[in-house]
Structure 1
């Protein structure tokens, strides 16, 4: 299965070395997920397995990662071969995933912002619900596609750009461009605007009892190294968001 992620496997891994990834994305995500000791975990859109490995190392078991990109999963499986953790990886379009278990946790990183219609979002919410135990949690971090376009210029302070490719209505494409250290070409992602109401409705229709939005959080190390003033606009305008839904 060839996808637009296949040619950018190695540059994409370098994104995890950026200040945003180290001091906000990972910190926020790990805090929302919390203690994973002896909890079963399904990672939808696992990519190269960055978070899949982290949560397995923290004690989650069993851990399954699913992704549509053959090259991304090759990278993940190479890491698994170098440092065996017992992670299972499945090459599959997450929107076509059947019920493969009843997990304590279903997670996703920058997956939901790929969907352009309420129907697509509803489908992934239903797939998440079908693979969760009663009382299980879906946890995700997402590009804040609901960020008002007039504040997109703030993103430049953190080394990337956002561009609205049409009127600010549901389904409009948002181009996000990240320069990557030591890479000639930037990473370019196509995200889509869907309202918070649409997100909440999709999960509630899928059997989730609670749906909670969370702002980004800055790690103590990030504040110490770069200062709160550096990060305050990132937090103020919520350039990324956390999502927790409880079944």
Structure 2
């Protein structure tokens, strides 16, 4: 299996420092939307180089599995685990076909994976896959492209990246280019626009309830003033949903 991210492990790692909104806004927002991870079995869908998988382990998760379709990213994540053991496991596994993981987790997290679904069917498969991995009462949290992100050219450049669209009047499935630099090296990937309605439809059809959107928050480190313009039109939001059933601690 290959993906547009093969060979980008080092850039993925450096992005946490080169794109500071990730550390100061994205990560605390995901953790808040999840309601914390302590004592929970966590699946990181589309884990990339393992940034979030390691983050969850350090924040007290009972166990963490990272899955990604990119062999290069998983190889890097496994190497990091060898160097700095945190008890995280990694699998090269298409996040849309997680049938072998049925009901094994209390929390599934997807950072940007929904935004790389190119068709409504692909979006539906990802949500259904996340649903299948969760035990009754489990929660799914996705950091996904904000349906109301700023389409003004170079709006996000002060934060280290640009989003480009062919037409500012976006429709579901339209491509969105992400251009960024890390450590002097540029990279570009293609994401896809999905409205709130498209996200909510895919989640509810997968069997989730209690779909909710969370506005981003900043870390408690005095950085809010640095990101005022970003927070006025963040490019990413967290959406969460729940599997019906008992969520009593195990």
Report the TM-score when normalising by structure 2. 0.89
SS at match of 1:46: coil
Deviations 1:68-100 (A, max 9, x none): 111111111011111222222110111122141
Query: Which residue of 235, 240, 245 maps to 1:244?
Result: 240
> How many pairs align?
240
2:112 corresponds to: 110
The answer as to 2:171 corresponding to 1:175 is: no
| Distance in 1 separating the partners of 2:110 and 2:75 | 19
Matched residue, 1:206? 206
Q: How far did residue 170 of structure 1 move?
A: 1.6
Counterpart contact for 1:145–1:191, Cα < 8 Å: no
Q: Please, what is the CA RMSD of the aligned residues?
A: 1.7
- Unaligned residue ranges in structure 2 (runs of 5+): 244-250
Matched-pair contact (CA < 8 Å) for 2:65–2:88: yes
- Residue 96 of structure 2 aligns to a residue in which SS? helix
The structure whose residues are more often helix, as a share, is 1
How much does 1:199 deviate?
Answer: 0.4
Give yes or no for contact 1:125–1:206 (8 Å, CA) kept in 2: yes
CA distance in 2, matches of 1:214, 1:139: 10
Task: Kindly report structure 1 stretches of 4+ aligned residues shifted beyond 3 Å.
Answer: none
Distance (Å, rounded) in 2 between the aligned partners of 1:159 and 1:81: 31
- Contact 1:23–1:222, Cα closer than 8 Å, also in 2: no
Match of 1:191 in 2: 191
Structure 2 Cα separation of the partners of residues 212 and 29 of structure 1: 13
